[in-house]
Structure formats: structure tokens, C-alpha cells
Chain A
Amino acid sequence: MMLDVKDLRVAYGAIEAVKGVSFSVEKGEIVTLVGANGAGKTSILRAISGLVPAKTGEILYKGRNLVGIPPHDIVSAGITHVPEGRLVFPNLTVEDNLLLGSYIREDTAAIAEDMERVFSLFSRLKERRHQEAGTLSGGEQQMLAVGRALMGRGTLMILDEPSMGLAPILVEEVFRTIVEVRKSGMTILLVEQNANMALAIADRGYVLETGRIVLSGKASDLAAMDEVRAAYLGR
């Protein structure tokens, strides 16, 4: 088991955003959490990478409980977080952004190799390697955010709303990349409002509603369920 979340609760002051959520991710899987705005998806991811504290519950990553561990140690443990809204460093060049992704590593030669690997995956980034990241288009910034996460050589990548604010054609491109990334041996936990796309590429999925998991199962089964289709797929 790569990641095993048990009865996780996250609260902001008196307001509980995540009300006892349990789910798991196996090695090599793409697992998706889908749900509407405010369902608690982002809070779950932030709790996993230590950016917000978990109120109760356990987050077991390869058997080790991550609750209470600071974010930089969680990155070192192998979890890379592609945050919502991409959050590239706008005034740094594409290369510098990628170098920051390898921040926890010290093997300079391998870092250079990985940068070339990212460039071969995203040729657009290679063309723009000396350009400031803030001048890239939304899709390119998302590619950069994913590439930056790859530079950490983690084993689990958690992606928060990678399709947010992108044109449909770019959304497809981003999801193709996620599949590519999985092929390279990465395990992926994907959070999406675009349930349609997310369930199409995922192995398994969980449906969240106001901080609770209401449905779970194989992604293809979920996508075929009437209540999911009505509520999230819009048909």
C-alpha cells in the first residue's frame, strides 16, 4: 500500500472541511477524488503534504504516519504536490522553476539528466527554458508545474485540479501527460472537478460530498453510475 488515509479530519477554526475520510492508493495506480467545490478535496491533499494540520486521523505513507511532519520532510519522503492554480514561480525562469523542484536533492548530475527528461516530455518548455514562468500560457504553466514535481524524483504525485482554468484542448493535453507520467512508474492521486476526464484516466475513484466520501469504486463503474453522471458529469 502506497498511501492509506484513515478517518482524516481537517478543520479551519470551528469549520470542519473534511469529516472523517478514509481511502487508499496502491503503487502504480491513478486514484482520483472527485467532487464539487467545497467538498474538501484540496484540504485532503494539503493535509497529506503537511500544508494544513490534520485534526485527527492517520495518513500512512509506505506505513509511516505523516501527521505532524513538516512539509519539507514529506517532500523528502517522496510525495510531490502539484498545487491548485499551478503556483509556478512567475519571476523565475523555466529552468530555475525546475531546479527548485529538485530542491531536496543533491545529485547534480542526475538533476541535469532529469531536466533533460522533463524537456523531452514537454518540448514547449525546452523552447522556453530561459523565459520567465509568468510569461507562459496557462497550459504551459501546468506542464511546468508537473515537470517541476517530476524533478523531485518522488514516488507519489498528488495533483490538485490540473485542469483548472484551461481551455478544453489543453485539458486533454494535461491529462495525456498525467498518463505519461504514470507510465514512468509514478503513483498518482488526482483531485478534479472535471470528473469526466478524471474518471476516464483513473483506475479507481472516490466521490466526495461536503467532507465525506459518498461513493467509491472502479473509475469506469463510477463513470457509468446514474447518480454520478447526473451530479458530476452533467448528462
Chain B
Amino acid sequence: MDTLRKYLPILGLAAFYVLVMALRKAGVLTSYYVQILMFAMINCMVTLGLNLINGFTGQFSIGQAGFVAVGGYTSAAVTTLLLPSSVLVPALRPLVFLVSVFIGGIVAGIFGYLIGKPSLRLKGDYLAIVTLAFGEIIRSLIRLIPQVGGPRGFSGIPRYSNLLWIVLFFGGTIWVLRNYIYSSFGRACIACREDELAAGTMGVDTTKYKVMAFTIGSAIAGVAGGLLAHLLGYLHPDQFNYLKSIDFLVYLYAGGAGSMTGSIMGATLLTILPEMLRFLSGWRLVIYGIALVFLMLFRPQGIYGGKELPFLIPKIRRPEGYEGGQ
């Protein structure tokens, strides 16, 4: 029974993949719907990374799209400029793709570290200001690099991403974050959120954990960026403006900060909702906005704020009669 429970999330993801593929084959789902699902999962990953920073560690980063851009452009540069698919035997292509996505994540993580280290020593809104500026600086910088297309955009990126890859990375992200949050590292991060002074008196090196959370959250955004680049086949700096960052914040807070379940629900629902409202044409974003206003009026803590589905809590941390919460 316990083993079954342990592997249930993996089985669930596998079943999800098989189901989507079967429906695709049967013609129920067009490639348009499958694409929306893939976008939803990528948005989930970015939001989960942001949740570690904003939701669990209590900092306020508003430049998440900048890290997606760093990861996306870096991994696209690897697969397009460094090792283009034309020089690779087909069998090597998935490997190069995998490595490029990880490189994108690592580079985004390094950027996160370099930005977090000086700005997270300070308490308050400094991180918000710095990350907002970072997002815009990255966008301007990319425009100045002709090798990746500059202001014309980066085209010709091989479309390596598919549902399988994205499901795998999505599952991997959840697994990594779950194990992080329910470890002593995660508890230290949550302590920083709850009360930084008290965390300090407990011997928690608050700056270290804030920087660590920020670096991991940025790296996850970078990985998602790599997947996105190879899904779209084309990147443009303006895709990653501050409005995109705001989108991720909306996903996070609508879903419920401090809950992985919330991030997944928020990002999924709010990625799919605007697509479903397409028949309303011009009124689409009005309805979307009204839906958000009502959500915040009637459920200010977010759809799943402060709670967690049981399979996202490792068994060892779950006492008897426990019903979610962190």
C-alpha cells in the first residue's frame, strides 16, 4: 500500500501522458489543445519556482520572466549555434536537448545568485526593485546580441520539446521542490518568511537561505525557458517583458502562495481560461480580469492557499490526522 502511494504521483503523470496521447490519436484533442497543455505545464514550472521565492521564503521577486528568458536563450544558443541539429546524428539530438535545458537552468541559476546575493541581504522591497530592473535589463541586453537575433528575435530553434519531455521536467520539478520544501532547508526558508528575526535567533542564516531559494527558483524558471524555446522554435525579447512576469505573479497568488498545489492549479487554470474564452474575441481579457477580481474578493488566499494535496507532502512529515497545511 505504501509503495503504491509512493509511486502514485508517477503513475498519475504517466496515466495523464498516455491519456493525452490516446485522445490525440483518436482525434478528440487537436494539436492546438495539446500545445495549450504544454504551455500550462511550462507555466506551472515557472510559477512553482516563483512560489519557492515568494510563497515559501516570503521574498518578493517580480522579474521571473527575465530568468525564463535567460534559460530559453541560453539553451536555444546551445542547440542552434553551438551544436545545430544538422551536424548531429538524430540519436544524439535528445541528449543535446537535455543538456542544453540543464545549461539554461544553471545559467539562470547563476544569474539568480548574482542578483540575489547583494539584494537579499537587505530586508524589504529591494528585491522587487532589483528583479524588476533585471527583467528589463535582460530584455535590452538580448536586443544587443546579433548572434541570437537581437531585436528581430531568435528563429530557427529546433523544435525538440514535446509532451513527453515537458511531462518529465514538470514531474521532476515537483519532486525536487517537494523534497526541498519538506527538508530542514525548506523549514529554514519558511522560518524566514514567518519571522526573519525569530529565524535569526534560531541560528538560521537568513541571507543564505533567501539566496538559496532565489537561486533554485530562478534555475527552475531557466529550465522552463529552455523547454519553451524548443517548443516555440522562436524567441523574441518582447515575449519576456514585465507583463509576462506579472502573469506569473497572478498565477501564483490566484492559485495560493505557499502551496505547490495552488501554483499548479493557478497556472493551469489561468493558462487554459483565456484560451477557452477566445470565442469572446475582444471581451476575452475583460472576462478574464473580472474572473480574477471575483477570485480575489471571495478567496483572497488563492484557490488552494496554505493547503496541499496529500501526495505533495512526503509521508514521513505527515502526522496522523493531518489534513494539509505547511
Residues of A within 8 A of B (CB): 49, 51, 70-72, 75-76, 80-83, 87-93, 95-96, 99-101, 103-104, 129-130, 132, 148, 152
A100 and B306 contacting across the interface, CB-CB below 8 Å = no
B200 contacts across to A, CB distance below 8 A: 49, 51, 71-72
Q: Is the CB of B118 closer than 8 A to any CB of chain A?
A: no
Other-chain contact of B188, A75, A81, A100 (Cβ < 8 Å): A100
What are 12 sample pairs from A and B whose C-beta atoms fall under 8 A apart? A49-B201, A72-B200, A72-B203, A80-B201, A83-B197, A89-B190, A89-B194, A91-B326, A100-B191, A103-B184, A132-B325, A152-B203
Q: Which residues of B from 90 to 110 have beta carbons under 8 Å from A?
A: none
Q: Is the CB of B2 closer than 8 A to any CB of chain A?
A: no
Q: How far is the CB of A49 from chain B (nearest CB, A)?
A: 6
B202 and A130 contacting across the interface, CB-CB below 8 Å = no
Of listed A99, A104, A130, residue having the most chain B CB within 10 A: A130
Which A residue's beta carbon lies closest to that of B198? A87
Residues of B within 8 A of A (CB): 184, 187-188, 190-191, 194-195, 197-205, 258, 306, 319, 321-322, 325-326
Q: How far is the CA of A28 from the CA of B112 in the complex (A)?
A: 47
B194 contacts across to A, CB distance below 8 A: 89-92
Q: How far is the CB of B58 from chain A (nearest CB, A)?
A: 10
Q: How far is the CA of A138 from the CA of B200 in the complex (A)?
A: 21
A130 and B201 contacting across the interface, CB-CB below 8 Å = no
Which A residue's beta carbon lies closest to that of B188? A103
Q: How far is the CA of A199 from the CA of B172 in the complex (A)?
A: 58
Which A residue's beta carbon lies closest to that of B201? A81
A75 and B197 contacting across the interface, CB-CB below 8 Å = no
Query: Total A-B residue pairs with C-beta atoms closer than 8 Å?
Result: 77
Other-chain contact of B199, A91, A96, A100, A132 (Cβ < 8 Å): A100
A104 contacts across to B, CB distance below 8 A: 202-203
Which B residue's beta carbon lies closest to that of A76? B203
A75 and B326 contacting across the interface, CB-CB below 8 Å = no
A75 and B202 contacting across the interface, CB-CB below 8 Å = yes
Other-chain contact of B201, A71, A91, A132 (Cβ < 8 Å): A71
Other-chain contact of B205, A70, A80, A101, A132 (Cβ < 8 Å): A70
A82 contacts across to B, CB distance below 8 A: 201
B187 contacts across to A, CB distance below 8 A: 92, 96, 99-100, 103
Q: How far is the CA of A49 from the CA of B202 in the complex (A)?
A: 10
Q: How far is the CA of A103 from the CA of B190 in the complex (A)?
A: 13
Q: How far is the CA of A152 from the CA of B201 in the complex (A)?
A: 10
B197 and A92 contacting across the interface, CB-CB below 8 Å = no
B195 and A87 contacting across the interface, CB-CB below 8 Å = yes
A89 and B188 contacting across the interface, CB-CB below 8 Å = no
Q: How far is the CB of B222 from chain A (nearest CB, A)?
A: 29
Q: How far is the CA of A91 from the CA of B200 in the complex (A)?
A: 17
Q: How far is the CA of A70 from the CA of B325 in the complex (A)?
A: 32
Interchain residue pairs A-B with the least CB separation, the first 9:
A75-B203, A87-B198, A89-B194, A81-B201, A104-B203, A72-B205, A71-B200, A72-B203, A87-B195
Q: How far is the CA of A195 from the CA of B326 in the complex (A)?
A: 39
B321 and A130 contacting across the interface, CB-CB below 8 Å = yes
Q: How far is the CA of A100 from the CA of B184 in the complex (A)?
A: 8
Other-chain contact of B204, A49, A88, A100 (Cβ < 8 Å): A100
A88 contacts across to B, CB distance below 8 A: 195, 198
Q: How far is the CB of A235 from chain B (nearest CB, A)?
A: 35
Q: How far is the CA of A83 from the CA of B201 in the complex (A)?
A: 8
Q: How far is the CB of A138 from chain B (nearest CB, A)?
A: 16
B306 contacts across to A, CB distance below 8 A: 91
B258 contacts across to A, CB distance below 8 A: 91
Instruction: Supply 16 further A-B pairs (C-beta < 8 A) apart from A51-B197, A75-B202, A100-B202.
Output: A51-B200, A71-B200, A72-B204, A75-B203, A87-B195, A87-B197, A91-B190, A91-B326, A92-B190, A92-B191, A95-B319, A100-B204, A103-B184, A104-B202, A148-B202, A152-B203
A93 contacts across to B, CB distance below 8 A: 325
Of listed A76, A91, A132, residue having the most chain B CB within 10 A: A91
Known: A99-B187, A100-B187, A130-B319. A92 touches B201 (CB 8 A): no
Q: How far is the CB of A112 from chain B (nearest CB, A)?
A: 13
B197 contacts across to A, CB distance below 8 A: 51, 83, 87
A92 contacts across to B, CB distance below 8 A: 187, 190-191, 194, 326
Q: How far is the CA of A90 from the CA of B198 in the complex (A)?
A: 11
Q: How far is the CA of A100 from the CA of B202 in the complex (A)?
A: 7
A129 contacts across to B, CB distance below 8 A: 319
Q: How far is the CA of A130 from the CA of B205 in the complex (A)?
A: 26
Which B residue's beta carbon lies closest to that of A95? B319
B199 contacts across to A, CB distance below 8 A: 89, 100
Q: How far is the CB of B306 from chain A (nearest CB, A)?
A: 7
Q: How far is the CA of A49 from the CA of B204 in the complex (A)?
A: 13
Known: A90-B194, A92-B191. A103 touches B321 (CB 8 A): no
B322 and A152 contacting across the interface, CB-CB below 8 Å = no
Which A residue's beta carbon lies closest to that of B208? A72
Other-chain contact of A130, B184, B191, B322 (Cβ < 8 Å): B322
Which B residue's beta carbon lies closest to that of A50? B200
